[in-house]
Amino acid sequence: MEASDSYLIRPHHQHKFKPAIVKECIREIVRERLSGVQYDPDQVPELSRSLADCIKDKVKNAGFDRYKLVVQVVIGEQRGQGVKMSSRCFWDADTDNYAEDIFMNESLFCLAAVFGSYYY
Amino acid sequence: MYSDKKPSMEDTWRPAELKRHIGGERPGGENVRRRNDNERKPRGGESVERRRRDPEKESRRERDEQKERGSTKERRHDEGKDVYAKPKEDSRDRRSDKVRDRRDERDKERRKERDRPVDDLRKRDREDKHERDRDKERHRDKEKDRVRDRERQDGEERDKRKEERDKERRREERDKDRSRVEQDREHRSEREKRRHEESGDGGRDRVEKYDREQRERHRGRERPKDEREKERHGDRKHAEQKGEREHREEHKRHKEDRERRHKERGHDDQRQKHDAESRQHRDSKRPGEEKRHHRGDREQQQQQEREKQKERRHREEDDVEKKHRERRRREEEEDDDDDDARRIHKERSTSKKETSEKSQRHDTNTEKTEDVNDEDLADQEYEDDFEKVDYEEDFEDIDPSEGEDEKEPEFPQVEEGEEKDELTTQKRKEIEAIQRAMNEENERVGTGQSGHGTKRGEEDAPKLSKGSERNQSQASQRGRFIDFVAAKQREVSKKVATKQKKRSTELLRLIDLDFSMTASLLDLPPVNEYDMYIRTFGNANTKQAYVQCNEDNADRDIQTEEIEVCEKWTQHPPEYSGSCGDPNLSQEARDKNMNEINFDSQRLAAFLHSASQVMVVLLEENQAERKSLRKLRNQTDALSFSDGSAQLNTQLSFLYGRHISLVHFSQVQSHTMMSVHTPTTTPSAVRLDSCTIICIWNIWEPSRPQRILVYESEVQCCCFSPGKATLVFAGTSVGSVVLWDLREHAANHYCLKIGQDEWTFRQPTFSTDAVMASSGHLSSVSSVEVVPSTAAGGLRPEIPLLASEEESSGLSFQLASLDETGVLNFWVVVELPKASEAGSLTDLGLRPGGKVKLLHSSTLHTAERVSSRDAVKIGALQSLHLKFLPSDSNHFFIGTNMGLVRHGTSHSLKVPPKFYRFQEAGLRPVDVSSIHFSPFRPNLFLVGCGDGCIRLHVVSREQPVAEWSHSTAGERVVSLQWAQTRPTVFCVLDAGSNLHIWDLLKNDTKPVITERISADRVTAITVFGDSGKQNTYSGIALVHESGSIEMHYFTRDFTVSSCVEEEKLESMMTEAL
């Protein structure tokens, strides 16, 4: 089939990236996976990777069509230090969005951010 | 010439050198190709335009030499316009083109493979031809025929390809054409003629070259298909031309049938050039080099052939300009030997014209048209290629190379089928040659795979090297499949990238990207020290509290000075030890202080008390003296015995209208007197009318009474306490005995303000009213007497002694009360140590706050005894008066109403005489009005009777010592009393207000002085006087009927006693015995 010159430059409303839903997804997964977990520097890379994959899969299934997802999971040890993270995106603010959730327990903090970028 | 040169050059080169040569030259061409590739890649409006322009430029490069720039520019414009103006057509055309192109590609590949051996052959032929040319051109014709056939084949191949491309659309047409093929053959001559005409037209057109070409190109752009061009040609010429064209096409088909393979080969080279170029470019360089190398050879061959054809054509046409161009081309050809495919293509056509002079005319015609078509087609192919790439990229899934590989077998069969139908001898030859070449190829592949490096080294001949290289390239194409896969992948990825880039460029126009905002994902502040500490050391759910050490080191200042506290006390009224004090002082100091205070206060009080008394007395005396002096002067005449007089102030409102029933002096305190004022019936302002008022006087202070005592009923008798006159006893008409304590504070009593003066009316301290009814008196009390102290024992008690005793004993003495029935009660006067303001529950007669009370001691019934014995003679005796023997309290004397004085003892044996009688025997019913013991001789007493008879008795005798019957002239003796300072003087008051003064020393038969006070009757008298050494005085108080009290002092005669008097009394007693 040949693609016409017309592009779908806006997602359908119901397929739009909804941070609240995604945040819930993140929260569920992170809470489930990290509650009661102690920080272990050996396991954290694998853990964060698997978390990111898990979140990505879940968000994929959430039905955001034509969205490219970027999942970033940062797990750090909680030793009373100050942490500041911020993101800046060059994107189309009408279609793209992000959701993030923070999980903290005694020994670690975990930040999971999902950036959804609409693929036109 | 040129053809000779080139092969010679190639021949002289050794394969390695040639390779090097090509490699050295190649970069330029490669660059161009790359540029083409690069230019092909971009999509989107402008880039497409540019891309289209560039190949056109290249194709134009040759044309530009002969054509004007303006036309190209216009064309460019038109192209741009067309691209935009007819997207639909484009898309449609593209679709068809794509299919066609794909097919072409397949054909190309197939043919290329097939043609390679043919090329070899051809090369060999060419070399042979060179040799032949060199020797003699005897094989020229044959060779030319071959070449021509090949060219024809090429042309037909082109047509066929065109048709194949258009097959889907033009299948029907082609079928028609095929049906006409035979007819067309028959009319070949006619067609040739027309062709000639057409060429003439073409020449005309060439004369009008600019316009026509421009138009053609323009149209070619508008309808990039060959058939359209043909149609255009047809349209442009005449309706007949359509038939001609058909003829031509049929002719082409005929040729195609015959010379397919050649055509394929020739045309395929062109085709393959693009494909191979791109492929080579994409693939490793070595195969590309080799390919190029042998392709270059092939091109040379083809060029030669085409040049021949073109020469032929041009020669026929005699076009000068074309010759010039051809020449130029030839020159350029030397320079741009392996330059652009386009160029080679053109040059080929020009060189063909030159070389092939012998070619047939209609062949040249066809060739010419085909060339023209070819040129257009080449352009179109370029365009189609680009478009094809576009579409292929759009369809990601379709892999062109794969498609080639897959569909390869299909077409060969079909074509072979066609081939078989129209096999010619030439073709058979060709096939044989190809088969040969394939055999060689196979052999070489077998060896090349084992080790082509050594083989290559062995091959000295260029032919062999070319063959080997070609084989290698084929081997690389077939055997080294991996390279292609990678290349394909790369291609695919590149296509994807370009496609995405196109998408992005298109999309970027539609959307806006922005740095929307900087989102803070996580901001975790550092934990403060406290939390850290708690987390590290603390327990869960606990809160740590800081404790600052040394906190109690804080300074604290007080600005105010401490308040000095000193405890002092004071009390009013002052009691015990003083009125004020300080607990901080030492006990000694305090005691001393208190003692001093007490001492001082006591001394002061005592001093003031005495001093005040003295002062009051002095003042009173002064006042009284002035009065008395005046009175004395007045009354001196009247009262002979009086030495002076004073009058007590009884002119008081509460005493107004009262009679004085009794006046009495204290025995110890001779200056203290009391007067009993009877209740009055006359109403007054004071509410004390029904009460008896007793006034206590100090005779030295006549102006006012000391105390005022009040009792509700009539007082019959009264007396002072022994010793100091502190108590007053009274017997009442209702049978009660009452007492007043004069020491009581005035505040405790009723205070009445009369006029300007305040008077305190004292109620009795103790009363036996109704309290002691059983032990009290049942009738009016006739007399109360203090029982004298028994200690004295008949001795005359010393006053100071008594006083001291009284003071020491604390008022302990007996009181006797006698009522009219003869009941004698003895009372003990008891002073309580402490007064109770609340009163006493047991002593109901005691006034609250009182300290003195009466205790009933004993009762004597004196009358019964008398009556029991003397009942017949005397009858009932009425007790009127009671006196105790001063020396012995056991003896009491009771005056009766029968003129007898009963003698009794309270608690001992009876002592005679029982009665004291008159001198004469017998009883007389006269009352004993008064009994008075002599202060100097206690066993002597006087008895006054109601009939005026006065008797002097001695205690031990029943009979009187002396008896004076008519001294008062029959008047009733009211009162008689011994004088206090002289033993032999006594005063008698009779009822007729006559005062008789007796002096037994002077006259023991009649009174010395008899004074008759008629003006104001005297109702009562009492004698006072003090027998003290330094100040002896004596007097008589006269109570007048009006209630006034006059105090008369006796003259010196009656005051100073002498020892003779007592002797006189002794003598008289002895006389009586």
Q: What is the pTM of this model?
A: 0.42
CA B141 to the chain's CA centroid: 119
Structural domain boundaries, residue A74? 12-118
Handedness of CA B556, B559, B562, B563 (dihedral sign): negative
Q: Pick the residue with more confidence: B843 or B91?
A: B843
Give the residue-averaged pLDDT of B523-544.
74
Residues belonging to chain B with any Cβ–Cβ distance to chain A shorter than 8 Å: 91, 391, 394-395, 503, 506-507, 510-527, 531-532, 535
Give chain B positions within 8 Å (CB) of A104: 524
Q: Pick the residue with more confidence: B929 or B345?
A: B929
Q: Residue A72: what pLDDT?
A: 92
Amino acid sitting at position B878: Q
Q: Is the pLDDT of residue B1069 over 80?
A: no
Give chain B positions within 8 Å (CB) of A89: 515-516, 519
What are the pLDDT digits (tens) for B146-197? 656 665 655 555 655 655 555 555 555 555 555 555 555 555 555 555 555 4
Shortest distance, CA A10 to any CA of chain B (angstroms): 9
Q: Pick the residue with more confidence: B225 or B925?
A: B925
Whether B518 and A98 lie within 8 Å, measured CB to CB? no
Whether A90 and B513 lie within 8 Å, measured CB to CB? yes
Q: Is the pLDDT of residue B547 over 80?
A: no
What are the pLDDT digits (tens) for B883-915? 888 777 788 888 888 778 888 887 767 777 778
Share of chain B above pLDDT 90, in %: 1
Q: What angle do CA B890, B892, B898 make, to 5 degrees?
A: 160
CA distance B487 to B480: 12
CA distance B464 to B469: 8
**Range with the lowest mean pLDDT among B26-35, B428-437, B481-490, B602-611?**
B26-35
**Omega of the bond leading into B573 within 30 degrees of 0 (cis):** yes
Find the closest chain B residue to A80 by CA distance.
B527
Q: Residue B158: what pLDDT?
A: 63
Give chain B positions within 8 Å (CB) of A94: 511-512
What are the pLDDT digits (tens) for B310-333? 555 555 455 445 555 555 555 555
Q: Is the pLDDT of residue B486 over 70?
A: yes
Whether A89 and B515 lie within 8 Å, measured CB to CB? yes
Give chain B positions within 8 Å (CB) of A86: 518-521
Find the closest chain A residue to B398 by CA distance.
A1
Shortest distance, CA A81 to any CA of chain B (angstroms): 5
Kindly state whether residue A24 falls inside one of the protein's structural domains.
yes
Return the closest-CA partner of residue B59 out of B77, B41, B32, B83.
B32
Give chain B positions within 8 Å (CB) of A92: 511-514
Token pair recorded at residue B557? 């200042």
CA atoms within 13 A on the CB side of B242: 6
Contact present, B945 and B1016 (Cβ < 8 Å): no
Q: Residue B1039: what pLDDT?
A: 87
Token pair recorded at residue B1022? 């009492």
Handedness of CA B314, B315, B316, B320 (dihedral sign): positive
Q: Average pLDDT for consecutive 10-residue bins of chain A (120 residues)?
A: 63 86 90 89 91 90 87 89 88 87 89 88
Give chain A positions within 8 Å (CB) of B394: 2-3
Kindly state whether residue A88 falls inside one of the protein's structural domains.
yes
> What average pLDDT is seen over chain B?
65
Nearest to A91 among B516, B526, B531 (CB): B516
Give chain A positions within 8 Å (CB) of B396: none
Kindly state whether residue A6 falls inside one of the protein's structural domains.
no
CA distance B835 to B854: 15
Question: In the beta sheet, which residues pair with residue B766?
Answer: B739, B846
Kindly state whether residue A3 falls inside one of the protein's structural domains.
no
**Range with the lowest mean pLDDT among B55-69, B485-499, B719-733?**
B55-69
Kindly state whether residue A4 falls inside one of the protein's structural domains.
no
Contact present, B346 and B62 (Cβ < 8 Å): yes
Residue A105 sits at the chain B interface (C-beta within 8 Å): no
Kindly state whether residue A7 falls inside one of the protein's structural domains.
no
Whether B524 and A113 lie within 8 Å, measured CB to CB? no
What are the pLDDT digits (tens) for B378-418? 444 444 444 444 444 444 444 444 444 444 444 444 444 44
Give the residue-averaged pLDDT of B449-454.
45
Q: List C-alpha distances in Å: B927 to B365, B781, B875.
A: 218, 17, 14
Kindly state whether residue A98 falls inside one of the protein's structural domains.
yes
To test the contact with chain B by mutation, choose from A1, A5, A6, A7 the residue with the greatest count of B C-beta atoms within 10 A, namely: A7
Q: Residue B241: what pLDDT?
A: 47
Shortest distance, CA A6 to any CA of chain B (angstroms): 10
Q: Residue B236: what pLDDT?
A: 47
If pLDDT is split at 50, 70 and 90, which confidence band does B1058 have?
A: confident
If pLDDT is split at 50, 70 and 90, which confidence band does B763 have?
A: confident
Residue A113's CATH number: 3.30.1140.40
Return the closest-CA partner of residue B248 out of B267, B229, B270, B225.
B229
3-state secondary structure string across B852-900: EEEEEEEEEEHHHHHHHHHCCCCCCCCEEEEEECCCCCCEEEEEECCCC
Give chain B positions within 8 Å (CB) of A2: 91, 391, 394-395
Shortest distance, CA A65 to any CA of chain B (angstroms): 18
Q: Residue B18: what pLDDT?
A: 56
If pLDDT is split at 50, 70 and 90, which confidence band does B88 have?
A: very low
What are the pLDDT digits (tens) for B134-159? 555 555 555 555 656 665 655 555 65
Residue A89 sits at the chain B interface (C-beta within 8 Å): yes
Residue A6 sits at the chain B interface (C-beta within 8 Å): no
Give chain A positions within 8 Å (CB) of B387: none
Give chain B positions within 8 Å (CB) of A87: 518-519, 521
What are the pLDDT digits (tens) for B981-1027? 888 888 888 888 888 888 888 887 888 888 887 777 888 888 888 76
Which distant-in-sequence residues (6+ apart) come within 8 Å of B260 by Cβ? Answer: B153, B156, B157, B160, B415, B418, B419, B422, B427
At which residue do the structure tokens 């206060």 appear?
Answer: B601
Name the domain count of chain A. 1
Kindly state whether residue A61 falls inside one of the protein's structural domains.
yes
Alpha helices (H) in B884-960, listed in sequence order = none
What are the pLDDT digits (tens) for B921-972? 666 778 888 888 888 888 888 888 888 888 888 888 888 888 888 777 778 8
Nearest to B526 among A9, A80, A93 (CB): A80
To test the contact with chain B by mutation, choose from A71, A85, A97 the residue with the greatest count of B C-beta atoms within 10 A, namely: A85
Contact present, A115 and A41 (Cβ < 8 Å): no
At which residue do the structure tokens 């004020």 appear?
Answer: B580
What are the pLDDT digits (tens) for B273-318? 444 444 444 444 444 444 444 444 555 555 565 655 555 555 545 5
